[in-house]
Chain A
Amino acid sequence: MEQGIMNLETLWFVLIAVLWTGFFFLEGFDFGVGILLPFIGKDDEERRVMINTIGPTWDGNEVWLLTAGGAMFAAFPIWYATMFSGFYLALFLILIALIVRGVAFEYRSKHPSSEWRIAWDGAIFFGSLLPALLFGVAFGNLVRGLEIDAAGEYVGGFWALLNPYSLVMGITSLVLFTLHGALFLSLKAKGVIYDRAVEVAKPLSIAATVVLAVAMVWSYVQADSGVVPGLLPIAAVALLGVVIWLAYSKLFAWAFVFTGLTIVTVVAAIFIGMYPNVMTSTIDPAYSLTVFNASSTTMTLQIMSIVALIFVPIVLVYQSWSYWVFRKRVGPEDVKTPTH
């Protein structure tokens, strides 16, 4: 069995980490905007301003999740099979949330009734809150290790996933994404939504730093990790600490960059900490799924590598272009016209 890191299995492990990073970075602020919707959008017009800041791009951001899932299936089918069946009920809840949230964005403004819009606002709020929490819980469990048996199946049941450590990871992702969303609004909204977003970003930056510090210390204590993975969690907390300073210095654009860097660093820490395992067994380390025993064949990995190396850069180009097209801030005058 290969042991170095210059192999296709490791390349795909890195690519999957990149896809999850892209998802958490981009959809992270979409979730944040959705979570903040009832708190800083006081009336229909204000909430429309908020929703339209992410309107053109949220769906493209969500595709990072679908691509991450598809890439896991293609490159590590054993990982995909064990994780998706093991996290069954959690993924069911995430799917329900993503479904109602996606429909809500499209349908909310197509009917003027206030009951209609309040109902869809609820769908956006819960549909953002639940995944923001549960993805953290899921990754917490990947870090912590799971009851993987000799057949490579997760046999721990549903409730074992809701352990204290993973719940802290869930709260961390929830608060971090909410902060990320508030800072995104500081870049994309104007008027009263901008004012409230920057006000809420300040205390959120402190809260996020505290929960992330707790989560990282806890991770460090429970994992017998060496010095190298230990540096990344420290860096993540430090980056988020900088966000506090930036937010209180009113440097919100930089603060957004630094919450983004924090997300990148946390995901990197999680994946580097796991490697070469993809699902660590708490029953017997020998049962763990690794990038080598869970992967597809070399041929499939080669074909997928060619496809990814051609198309990932193209996706990045046109997605960036779409952000450029919609770079202007959204204000009440942009949503005032009657809908029909």
Chain B
Amino acid sequence: MEDLALLLARWQFGIVTVYHWLFVPITLGITWMVAIMETTWLHTKNPVYLRMTKFWGKLMLINFAIGVVTGIVQEFQFGMNWSTYSRFVGDIFGAPLAIEALLAFFIESTFLGLWIFGWKKLKPTVHVLTIWIVAFGTMASAFWILVAGSWMQYPVGYVLNPETGRAEMDNFLEIITSKMVWAQFPHTIFVGFATAGSLILGVSAWHLMKRQHLEVMRKSAAFASVALLVGSLGVALTGHWLGQVMVEVQPMKMAAAEALWEDEQPAAFSLFAVGDKENNRNAINMSIPRGLSLLSCNNLDCEVRGINSLQAEMVENHGPGDYIPNLFVTYWGFRLMVGAGSLMILIGALGVWFYLRGTLAKHRWFLLLALWGGIAAGFVGNATGWIFTELGRQPWVVYEVLLTKGTNSPTVPASWVWISLIGFSVLYAILAVPAVYLFVKFAKAGPGEENSNDDVAASMIY
């Protein structure tokens, strides 16, 4: 039954992390956008910007609350569910987690408290500073957790101690400057801008369709379109870069993402494939010639390695076993991620274009697309992106160092994991109800008529 406990622990990790990751990208982007709005209010003294700050700030808080509390589980469950893993990597993996708490969580929680409750108590210049500090705190948080996560994808700066059987830190600088960190981190930050941009644009579009709160919503939609376009283009560029790092350090993940069975030179980019895993080939495959070579190494001719030869190489290096990740999930996860990102680029570009022509509020089809397509694309892109990255690493938990199998807690039986898996899943599902309810309620109610910081104070407190 050991394997059942492992399977359940993996499902729990996937569920609670993807759920957490629905809220966190919004936080990453929206804190910056609210900070910019409040700064503009201070500079222009135009109350429209104060109303924007309060309106989007409230939606930020409704989102922030779930992101924060679901994050606590993330930090605890390594020890709870993955004690063997924690013992093996703790010397390296624990440090960025502790630094994240000390450098980022304290900043975020303390200064967000000051921002929420400080509208009357702080000078406006100090008040706006608090939200900027929160915004930097969210970035610091993203950085340190990605240092930890990137090390699992691309372990560097460590030695294996044969005496203790543990991975031990050898070079901290190498760990935090690894090319995986510096591809994942900007990718994630741009994801935040794109996601928050699509959310703000979507909500603004709803009001523009209803022809209400036009002043606030026009400005918000324009601002959000720029954030969405810049963010999603940044996501694509850093994603391309991240993909090339993957080809280099995790060729199996990219081969799986492309359902590329045999080494190809030049390699084609697959658009639609139906795998035939028993015979290690695709039953159906429609593709763009040379596309994958272009994506992998920026030229049309390079060789891209396929699953079969990589599997053979893994067996040679690590002994017999199946080293191929779940192809269906990686292949379609990758395509959904890229598709969602492309839709976001399109919506951002259209938004900026219509804004420049002064017709942002006029095209009903565009507003509908921004509302339904844009918001959905953000969530779908983030969820599938995370699933692709993490499942594409399997069967390894630390790539080519430690297999996932056997790293769960030996003293935690499947019955306990059932309890927590069901408990967290049910609780998270229940919490989604008031979160969505409040978000929709405040989003529909629209901004108020505030003219000074004092007018905002009363509605922010608990």
A residues touching B (Cβ–Cβ < 8 Å)? 48, 51-52, 55-60, 62-63, 65-67, 69-75, 77-78, 80-86, 88-89, 91-92, 95-96, 98-100, 102-103, 105-111, 116, 153-155, 158, 296-297, 299-300, 303-304, 307-308, 311-312, 315, 318-319, 322, 325-326, 334-335, 337-340
Contact = CB atoms under 8 A, between A and B. Distances in A.
Given A319-B106, A339-B458, A107 B438 contact: yes
Given A95-B73, A154-B411, A308-B102, A56 B169 contact: no
A74 B147 CA distance: 14
Contacts of B92: 300
Given A110-B438, A308-B102, A80 B86 contact: yes
Interface stretch (B24-32, B60-68, B259-267, B332-340): B60-68
Contacts of A66: 72, 75, 101, 105
Given A59-B113, A73-B93, A107-B434, 14 more contacts: A52-B462, A56-B117, A58-B113, A59-B112, A60-B106, A67-B98, A85-B412, A92-B416, A103-B66, A106-B65, A153-B410, A307-B103, A318-B107, A318-B110
Contact of A55 (B94, B109, B459, B462): B462
A55 B462 CA distance: 7
Nearest to B103: A311
Interface in B302-334: none
A63 B105 CA distance: 6
Nearest to B417: A88
15 contacts: A52-B462, A59-B110, A70-B100, A81-B409, A85-B83, A88-B420, A95-B72, A100-B431, A102-B69, A107-B434, A296-B94, A300-B94, A319-B106, A334-B461, A340-B445
Q: Taking each of B84, B111, B423, B462, which has the highest tally of chain A beta carbons within 10 Å of its own beta carbon?
A: B462
Contacts of B445: 340
Given A85-B411, A153-B410, A67 B76 contact: no
Contacts of B107: 318
Contacts of B170: 299
Interface in B260-277: none
B137 to A, nearest CB: 11
B94 to A, nearest CB: 3
Given A59-B113, A71-B98, A73-B90, A89 B79 contact: no
B448 interface: yes
Contacts of A59: 68, 109-110, 112-113
Contacts of A48: 462
A116 B441 CA distance: 14
B51 to A, nearest CB: 12
A308 B102 CA distance: 8
B427 interface: yes
A23 B409 CA distance: 27
A337 B66 CA distance: 26
A299 B65 contact: no
A84 B105 CA distance: 21
Residue picked from B86, B172, B424, B461, most chain A C-beta under 10 Å? B461
Determine the main DSSP class of B at the interface with A.
Answer: helix
A55 B115 CA distance: 12
A74 B95 contact: yes
Contacts of B106: 60, 63, 67, 315, 318-319
Given A57-B113, A337-B458, A70 B75 contact: yes
B122 interface: yes
B70 A99 contact: yes
B94 A75 contact: yes
Nearest to B410: A153
B98 A304 contact: yes
Given A81-B83, A92-B420, A325-B118, A70 B97 contact: yes
A60 B62 contact: no
A319 B110 contact: yes
Contacts of B410: 153
Which 6 pairs between the two chains have the least Cβ-Cβ distance?
A77-B90, A84-B79, A74-B94, A337-B458, A73-B94, A70-B98
Contacts of A325: 114, 118, 121-122
A81 B462 contact: no
A260 B435 CA distance: 36
Interface string B414-434: 001001100110010001001
B412 A88 contact: yes
B78 interface: yes
A80 B75 CA distance: 11
B101 A70 contact: yes
Nearest to A319: B110
A55 B116 CA distance: 9
B71 to A, nearest CB: 8
Contacts of A102: 65, 68-69, 72
Contacts of A82: 83
Given A96-B427, A99-B427, A85 B81 contact: yes
Contact of B113 (A55, A69, A83, A88): A55
B160 interface: no
Contacts of A84: 76, 78-80, 83, 86
Contacts of B90: 73-74, 77-78, 80-81, 296
A91 B98 contact: no
A98 B72 contact: yes
B87 interface: yes
A296 B91 contact: yes
Contacts of A78: 87, 90
A281 B214 CA distance: 68
A33 to B, nearest CB: 12
B415 to A, nearest CB: 10
B237 interface: no
B362 to A, nearest CB: 30
Contacts of B168: 297, 299-300
A85 B413 CA distance: 10
A335 B461 contact: yes
B136 interface: no
B427 A89 contact: no
B109 A63 contact: yes
Contacts of A107: 62, 65, 434-435, 438
B80 A92 contact: yes
